Structure 1
Amino acid sequence: MSRLIPGESFNLGVCYYPEQWPEDMWADDYKRMREMGFNVVRMGEFAWNFFEPEEGVYSFDLFDRAIDLASMQGLKVILGTPTATPPAWMTHRYPGILNISKDGVPYHHGNRRHYNYSSPVYHKYCAKITEAMARHYANHLGVIGWQIDNELNAEGGAFYAEADHAAFRIWLKEKYGSLYALNEAWGTIFWNQSYSEWEQVHLPLSSLNPHQGLDEKRFFSDNAISFVRIQVEILRKLAPKQWITTNGMFPHLNNHAMTDELLDFYSYDSYPNFTSLWNDGDREKPLMDRIYSNYLTITRSISPNFGIMEQQAGPGGWVNFKQSTPKPGQIRLWTYQSIAHGADMLLYFRWRTATFGTEIYWHGINDYHNRPNRRVAEVANVGRELKTIGQAIAGSRYVADVAILHDYDNEWDGELDVWLGPLTKESEYSWSKSLQFNHIPFNYLYIENKTSINELTCYKVLIYPHPAMMSEETAELLKQYVAGGGKLVFGARTGYKDKKGHCRMSPFPGPVAELCGITVEEFTVIADKAATPNIRWIDDGDACMQACLFNDILYPENDTTETLAVYEDDYYAGKAALTRNTYGRGEAYYYGAVFSHEVADALTRRLGLQPAAADWLELPLEVEIAVREKEGCQIVFLLNYSGKEVKARLLRDSVDMLEGERLAEGALNISPYGVKILLIE
């Protein structure tokens, strides 16, 4: 388990790049940061050329001055190891450190993250720069921690340089021990793919073998973690008093394993306006920027208390895409969105918009002209608020009775399995929307080999939408949870693959068939959206909802299995679509399709789930509720994602932490994009 972020108060700050600004601006910048309530800055993650301007020649003068001046102003510094952007002298001299695309196109200098994790040469130079920086700053009182690299796997998380193919073979030898075991795991007798020499094995450049593709993703993750370990071990040895984190959450990386093995806590980069680039707005009742609560919930599953290393503070955009400017109140709203979900440290990106380079349209708090603006005033207001309430929030933990289960193998396998990947994305979105709109806080819980029954039993309800790959061990753990009184919800395609990704030669849903009390007698993908069948609820004959994307036709196997809904259309009309089976003291639900928002809503009611604070608070749809708990007190965040004032209703007296006043029973107005934080003792 990751450790808490050090400190008894909330850490608020900003990303700052002294190498990009004239030195005579630094003192005024730092002074204004402190006036805005900041106490921490991040720097250095893209500055390798300044730390090592030529091979083997290290220079710390610029950052010494920048860090010393920050310390004089009362600002603590987080240093980034600069390995996300190797210098040109290195890529020119050692081109083998550069990545190669799946199509065989070499990467060139001029971007970022253009290296590969497997190059022994790059390992050597990353270790050298990390060691040089650690020796220089280990005892600097102004440096409190380190960020490893920057946004690992942000550019896709796929690597096909020759060094990666070689490292993949080593990884496979350690995993399987022999080519016989490898061939069996990958099912290479199909299409005559069998290997007789290790040199014949590569990362899949053209192969559609799903088992090879799954191992590819597992390798990418383990290889990235090994790359991080090189730097962490140096910092642990040379700078043991300073904490270590990294930031991001990108594809093909087991962030849970990386954090548990190597980091003190995990950090996330939150940019809610990215939703303006997606098609979420085409949905009915779209989540839009509220979807970032879902991502922050995933982050919380990695670190119960985490850092936000980059919080959006302005309109975003590189030279090839654009985002709109946050509306008045949205930066503050997004800040408290992150805090509500578990952040104990938050840094805005960035202090001032760059006047040159790729990110000239990725705006910070200050504009190019460096004069006061609306965003500066809004962030300064947050600084004043957190100065008052930050100590009460720091160290508190998010409270939830419901968890959505997830695992990396099914996520990665779903990238090739078109009968799985789209199902999970849609169902998790639908459940998160249903729970949010019904004001029911939830967690994500990632199922791993080490997951214990105690981690499950703290939840009343678990939702595992589409665990196609499921081990017998996981099935037994889930049976134990339900038998003890828990409620567990599955969706279509559950349990039909083992952990190798092989399809079981047994009736679906495989190892949880007994738990669910059903078998799948037939199944079909819904290829034509217009032909999507409906389901009809047995207890409400007039209620019809669509059974989306995939249909398992269910056969109840025993008297304890109750059919809750049947299909209305096609050749399987009248067959079971949703069942509930009593197992021990609990219940297992199986839905033969993909969860829509409407189906998740209907199940939420039947599961007996109640809104948080239902006994003392009534909330409109536009408001999200999140609860953090500390020393017997609850801190309740109310976040209004709409551009209009909304009304909540207090059913008893409460304390408004931001205003420092007691609120009487009755109407509670929440301004456009507004935030209320209530203390319940």
Structure 2
Amino acid sequence: MKRELSVPGIAYGGDYNPEQWPEETWAEDMRLMREAGVTMVSVGIFSWALLEPAEGEYDFSLLDRVLDLLHENGIAADLATPTAAPPAWFFKAHPEALPVDQDGRRLSYGSRQTFCPSSPAYRRAALRITAELARHYAGHPAVVMWHVHNEYGCHNPACYCDTSAQAFRGWLRARYGDLAKLNDAWGTTFWSQWYYDWDEILPPRATGAVPNPTHQLDWHRFCSDELLSLYTAERDVLGQAAPDIPATTNFMVMYNFDALDYWRWAPKLDIVSNDHYLQSADPESQIDIALSGDQVRSLAGGPWLLMEHSTGAVNWQPVNRAKGPGELRRNALAHVARGADGIAYFQWRAAKAGAEQWHSAMLPHAGTDSQIWRDVVRLGADLRALAEVRGSAGTAQVAIVWDWNARWAMELPSQPSAELRFQDLVRTWYEPLWRSGVAVDFVRPDADLSAYRVVLAPSLYLVDDEGAANLVSFASGGGTLAVGFHSGAVDENCHVRLGGYPGAFREALGVRSDELFPLLPGESVGLSGGGTGTLWSERVRLSGAEPVESYTTGPLAGIPAVTRNSHGEGTTWYLATQPDAATLAGLLDRIRREAGVEPVRATPEGVEAALRRGTDADYLFLINHTDCPAHIAVAADATELLTGKPVPGAVSVAAGEIAVVREPRGD
């Protein structure tokens, strides 16, 4: 039974690092937190060196005063284990715990996460400080959640040292049982890679040519599991001391992070939390917010917490732009629209020293006479007004298949095209649905699909037999399945599925390709509907399917590029190229309309619509990303929650603004 967060309403706050400031500023922090409407802060995340100044010597006095002060001011604490940043004394005593990169260089300490995930010394030290922390604070009234570690794998997703090699071999023994099965799975007859002894197996360190793909894939799996084992070890220590306090760790479901298989992680958390930061170079970063939020909600199976995002600029991109007018508020409420029951920032007070001194915060360098502060206070009022939204769920009838194994495998070297990026391919299919206001969940290939009418697999290069059969069964049972190019190509061991492409889905799609024709950067082919295709083409032969679009230029002119097939009681589609945005939007619009899927609400272009469904009411979020006011039809007895005003029949959303409309549900 998963434990729940006891903070009422939509939790609000951020990382609080009082150790960075003179103690006389703490009273001001409390006053300003109350002014902003802060209800929960994360504390202690990077405080190991202060809590344990020497091995086995503990000093909790500073943290005692902070937690007491928070409790006196009615602010809850998400108390962290400080294990993401071991102190210098630890590495002086255990230099072997420092990580080794793929080229064999041992890295130094001086930042964070500079440890080998397989290091026994690190594990012992991390569990020791976790146990002391749990013993000391299990009964403290301010502590409502454990924040385990911080952003696992952000800076040390893999270590290639001898200790990691030994751990990797242990993981492989558990997976395969004997060397014969491993050799078969890895295809080691190729290039004389056969292993006769477990000790011959190393991590995929830098080598002269292309490494074995299954070796690399299993390494990704191992590294994710190795970090997960650290999380569960700390979680269990905390749970023994305080069985009623929920535990979480902050995921990083965002564009540029792919180190961990969060489908395996999510069931281990009481509360799923996520960190999300915008890419400054993305002109429509609101789409990435929605995609990430939908994915995290799907991982959680319901509401979740946004543990970190930024009030303005970050400090780690080539150019770190500030947010525009109203963007802070739109970003935060977009996460709430996608299921977040808590909004938090890194960090409360902007640092004046250290590596993140140019990272924005709730209380910026400029202080309270700043636009950021005014926006932070306004957002606190908004979240109080939305308290009743807490716990409400999504309503999607469309699911997109997302699999970390498929992502890792497709982006390995020596693919037919190095231009394919899993996240980009998924986003190109997600974006037109977002623009249309169609609700979307994300699913793993073997998920229960009974709640959906349409399942989309934009990029599923790797799929095991169970996952492939599940998707095909969904279609044969009456669902609509659409599959993107280069999907179903290999099994779970990265072995090509023989007999023609697209491998596992060939019969269900009613097509067979015998040769692939990936396109060069900048190259395109014409399509019979007037659009173009990029990235990919292949010689498709129909074996039951009907052509919807065909190539009109290039070596495959006249060959089908998009097909539709009847399979059992359902329908399957295959896209053998990457259509231009308008063509893809038209295809996805047709697919979901034929399946009877409608948007959550008809809105003008540029107005985002998302729906959360409660027990007695629906909550319609309308976010206007345009420079013009918008008018949207709503129920006759609707109320706009941010203003508390009735909006019978229609609501107006000013340019750059948000409305959240409660529409009572009948029986």
Is residue 553 of structure 2 the alignment partner of residue 569 of structure 1? Answer: yes
Q: Give the match for residue 625 of structure 2.
A: 641
Aligned residue among 456, 470, 480 for 1:477: 470
Is residue 19 of structure 2 the alignment partner of residue 12 of structure 1? Answer: no
Q: Give the match for residue 270 of structure 2.
A: 264
Aligned residue among 456, 459, 472 for 2:452: 459
Distance in 1 of aligned mates of 2:365 and 2:533: 52
Q: Give the match for residue 203 of structure 1.
A: 203
The alignment-based identity, stated in percent, is 29
Distance in 1 of aligned mates of 2:320 and 2:467: 42
Paired residues of 2:6 and 2:144 also in contact (CA < 8 A): no
Is residue 90 of structure 2 the alignment partner of residue 97 of structure 1? Answer: no
Give the deviation of 1:3 after TM superposition. Answer: 5.9
Q: Give the match for residue 485 of structure 2.
A: 492
Distance in 2 of aligned mates of 1:564 and 1:423: 25
Is residue 217 of structure 2 the alignment partner of residue 230 of structure 1? Answer: no
Paired residues of 1:553 and 1:572 also in contact (CA < 8 A): yes
Distance in 1 of aligned mates of 2:85 and 2:655: 41
- Structure-to-structure mapping, 1:47-446, within 5 angstroms: 47-155=47-155, 157-205=157-205, 206=207, 208-249=211-252, 250-260=257-267, 262-272=268-278, 275-276=279-280, 278=281, 280-281=282-283, 287-303=284-300, 304-318=302-316, 321-390=318-387, 392-417=388-413, 418-419=415-416, 422=420, 424-446=422-444
Is residue 573 of structure 2 the alignment partner of residue 589 of structure 1? Answer: yes
Seen in structure 2, the aligned counterparts of structure 1 residues 29 and 247 have a Cα distance that, compared at 3 Å, is same
Paired residues of 2:127 and 2:233 also in contact (CA < 8 A): yes
Paired residues of 1:308 and 1:338 also in contact (CA < 8 A): yes
Paired residues of 1:645 and 1:669 also in contact (CA < 8 A): no
Distance in 1 of aligned mates of 2:172 and 2:592: 47
Is residue 563 of structure 2 the alignment partner of residue 579 of structure 1? Answer: yes
TM-score (norm. length: structure 2): 0.94
Seen in structure 2, the aligned counterparts of structure 1 residues 357 and 424 have a Cα distance that, compared at 3 Å, is closer
Corresponding residue SS for 1:525: coil
1:642-671 Cα offsets, whole Å, 9 max, x none, are 4x23323326533211111122445x4423
Give the deviation of 1:426 after TM superposition. Answer: 3.1
Amino acid at match of 2:263: H
Paired residues of 1:423 and 1:594 also in contact (CA < 8 A): no
Distance in 1 of aligned mates of 2:184 and 2:289: 41
Aligned residue among 506, 510, 513 for 2:503: 510
Paired residues of 1:99 and 1:116 also in contact (CA < 8 A): yes
Give the deviation of 1:612 after TM superposition. Answer: 2.4
Is residue 517 of structure 2 the alignment partner of residue 524 of structure 1? Answer: yes
Give the deviation of 1:251 after TM superposition. Answer: 2.5
Distance in 2 of aligned mates of 1:459 and 1:415: 29
Amino acid at match of 2:127: A
Distance in 1 of aligned mates of 2:53 and 2:521: 59
Corresponding residue SS for 1:547: strand
1:108-165 Cα offsets, whole Å, 9 max, x none, are 1111111111000111000100000000001111101111111111126222122111
Seen in structure 2, the aligned counterparts of structure 1 residues 49 and 473 have a Cα distance that, compared at 3 Å, is same
Distance in 2 of aligned mates of 1:632 and 1:545: 45
Amino acid at match of 2:582: E
Distance in 1 of aligned mates of 2:239 and 2:504: 43
Corresponding residue SS for 1:357: coil
Paired residues of 2:600 and 2:610 also in contact (CA < 8 A): no
Paired residues of 1:157 and 1:251 also in contact (CA < 8 A): no
Distance in 1 of aligned mates of 2:293 and 2:19: 31
Seen in structure 2, the aligned counterparts of structure 1 residues 256 and 472 have a Cα distance that, compared at 3 Å, is closer
Paired residues of 2:394 and 2:611 also in contact (CA < 8 A): yes
Residue correspondences, number: 650
Q: Give the match for residue 656 of structure 1.
A: 640
Distance in 2 of aligned mates of 1:613 and 1:122: 49
Paired residues of 1:516 and 1:580 also in contact (CA < 8 A): yes
Q: Structure 2: 5+ residue runs without aligned partners?
A: none
Seen in structure 2, the aligned counterparts of structure 1 residues 652 and 633 have a Cα distance that, compared at 3 Å, is closer
Is residue 526 of structure 2 the alignment partner of residue 534 of structure 1? Answer: yes
Distance in 2 of aligned mates of 1:271 and 1:509: 35
Distance in 2 of aligned mates of 1:496 and 1:327: 44
Distance in 1 of aligned mates of 2:165 and 2:441: 37
Paired residues of 1:433 and 1:597 also in contact (CA < 8 A): no
Amino acid at match of 1:359: E
Paired residues of 2:622 and 2:659 also in contact (CA < 8 A): yes
Seen in structure 2, the aligned counterparts of structure 1 residues 196 and 365 have a Cα distance that, compared at 3 Å, is same
Seen in structure 2, the aligned counterparts of structure 1 residues 3 and 235 have a Cα distance that, compared at 3 Å, is closer
Q: Which moved more, 1:475-484 or 1:168-177?
A: 475-484
Give the deviation of 1:533 after TM superposition. Answer: 1.0
Is residue 657 of structure 2 the alignment partner of residue 671 of structure 1? Answer: no
Give the deviation of 1:5 after TM superposition. Answer: 4.0
Seen in structure 2, the aligned counterparts of structure 1 residues 7 and 32 have a Cα distance that, compared at 3 Å, is closer
Distance in 2 of aligned mates of 1:301 and 1:168: 30
Paired residues of 2:546 and 2:563 also in contact (CA < 8 A): yes
Is residue 613 of structure 2 the alignment partner of residue 604 of structure 1? Answer: no
Corresponding residue SS for 1:102: coil
Seen in structure 2, the aligned counterparts of structure 1 residues 651 and 345 have a Cα distance that, compared at 3 Å, is closer
Q: Which moved more, 1:411-420 or 1:473-482?
A: 411-420
1:37-91 Cα offsets, whole Å, 9 max, x none, are 1111111010001110111001100000000011000011011111110000001
Seen in structure 2, the aligned counterparts of structure 1 residues 676 and 218 have a Cα distance that, compared at 3 Å, is same
Q: Which moved more, 1:300-309 or 1:57-66?
A: 300-309
1:531-569 Cα offsets, whole Å, 9 max, x none, are x21221xxxxxx3222221112221113xx221111111
Distance in 2 of aligned mates of 1:192 and 1:253: 31
Distance in 2 of aligned mates of 1:427 and 1:255: 19
Paired residues of 2:99 and 2:116 also in contact (CA < 8 A): yes
Distance in 1 of aligned mates of 2:54 and 2:417: 49
Distance in 2 of aligned mates of 1:344 and 1:3: 15
Q: Give the match for residue 539 of structure 1.
A: none
Paired residues of 1:427 and 1:596 also in contact (CA < 8 A): no
Q: Structure 1: 5+ residue runs without aligned partners?
A: 282-286, 537-542
1:220-266 Cα offsets, whole Å, 9 max, x none, are 11111111121011011111121100013242212221221x21021
Give the deviation of 1:367 after TM superposition. Answer: 2.4
